[in-house]
Structure 1
């Protein structure tokens, strides 16, 4: 049984960071039932009324170099650090970042997989990675995001969809043509996890590090204790929606710029097709 030491530290640093006004939790209201009948998406509307514009000075060129000490959770071996996400989508929203500069749009390497494995052994949940701005990344310094889940909790609203999806390319769904899914087991060694990641990237047409300095296309990566998925991306913002890996996991965020009528008429899955 995992001890969840990192999770407990994340909660403590969350309390301290909120008291210090160093954390800006995103306040949202769930509006799913107003727009959608099924349960495979959760749609939230962002509440901007509580934003303190006087204190939001805008992002630093590289907010992870150095990171704010009050957001610090723990050191992960020699190459990585766990910190809190300054703009969390849920309580205890964790970031795993590289200590030294590594590009977000480069290939995930063995050191990354070592660190992800170490964290997940203690605190697990839904991991997601956005490879570039077109895939929803807000920072160019390499960082992975973790939303902790309890043992009996599903990783995300779309988990059943991913578990049932077959690895086929000749299908009618534009979405499935640009997504590849595989079973995943964190008990495998890091080399095997790296090999699986690279194999899936190659099958999806992202290239491989032997021939390509970086992946050929932007992509999102989702990782759970049961499955891994890679989504090839073509756009970031359409119909007023900005989608990162969480959108494909089933979490949609509506803002004042979003075309609610499009979402209500065509549905969330049709919206996602616009981004691949």
Structure 2
């Protein structure tokens, strides 16, 4: 059983950060169930994002320095856990590099060792967006964690990915050709070298370049990491039919806006939208 000291500290830090407006939770409502969307969750913001909170023009790096009111704890000398400033889920965590590392360059064993150190205390759904075209909002290296308890559903499409991993008979999908998935070793604690080796294997499988020779991946991609598997999704763009899609879209979470084409989603299902960003 995980100690979850990081999670306890995240909740305490969240309460203080909300009180001083360092964290501004985004209130959403869940859209009614749609037959074609049984393994997706569609939410809408209850109110539009406040214009005074939107920065126009060139943006300063929010992670150098990071807002100390958002800091949960240091992971080691090179990584820190902080809170997402605008969370949909309270306690949405960011694992950031303390010094400049580009989001769109190759991941390293150091990244996975930091992930492992956090995950062995507090686990859930990890996700990574490699660049703007993969849904990243910041060019500074950061990973994101939505904490889940032992009996909670990791994400709406968890079983879909398990079926892909197991190559289940009759499994079919319009987007599976852009997805690589590898099992995690069957033990309680996450293993950094196991994840890094899986990452390198998926890079080769999905033809993203040579990690030793190329400066950066040849295509945008997302990563999803759970207790049972790690998956890489190759991308072409970050938006389709009024939906912004990052790694969470493939995990089954859609956040709609007034620009989102809900009629298309209802008629053809969410995979039709995902198909247009791969």
1:141, distance to aligned residue in structure 2 (A): 0.1
Structure-1-length-normalised TM-score: 0.93
Q: How does 1:33-72 map to 2 (within 5 A)?
A: 33=33, 35-36=34-35, 38-49=37-48, 51-57=49-55, 60-72=59-71
Inter-partner Cα distance in structure 2 for 1:9 and 1:172? 42
Point out the more displaced range, 21-30 or 98-107: 21-30
1:122 corresponds to: 121
1:23 corresponds to: 23
1:88 corresponds to: 87
2:274 corresponds to: 272
1:228 corresponds to: 230
Instruction: Give 5+ residue unaligned stretches, structure 1.
Output: none
State whether residues 198 and 208 of structure 1, in contact with CA within 8 Å, keep that contact through their aligned partners in structure 2.
no
4+ residue segments displaced more than 6 Å: none
Q: Deviations over 1:229-276 (max 9, x none)?
A: 100001111111110000000001110111111111111111111111
SS at structure 1 position matched to 2:96:
strand
Inter-partner Cα distance in structure 2 for 1:188 and 1:70? 29
1:174, distance to aligned residue in structure 2 (A): 3.8
SS at structure 2 position matched to 1:95:
strand
1:61, distance to aligned residue in structure 2 (A): 1.8
Q: Note closer, same or farther for the CA distance 1:189–1:149 as it changes in structure 2 (3 Å cut).
A: closer
Inter-partner Cα distance in structure 1 for 2:202 and 2:166? 10
1:188, distance to aligned residue in structure 2 (A): 5.8
Structure-2-length-normalised TM-score: 0.92
1:153, distance to aligned residue in structure 2 (A): 1.3
Q: Note closer, same or farther for the CA distance 1:97–1:136 as it changes in structure 2 (3 Å cut).
A: same
Aligned residues between the structures: 272
Q: Deviations over 1:182-211 (max 9, x none)?
A: 111374642232111111111011123112
1:103 corresponds to: 102
1:166, distance to aligned residue in structure 2 (A): 4.7
State whether residues 219 and 232 of structure 1, in contact with CA within 8 Å, keep that contact through their aligned partners in structure 2.
yes
Inter-partner Cα distance in structure 1 for 2:54 and 2:194? 42
Q: CA RMSD in A?
A: 1.9
Point out the more displaced range, 172-181 or 265-274: 172-181
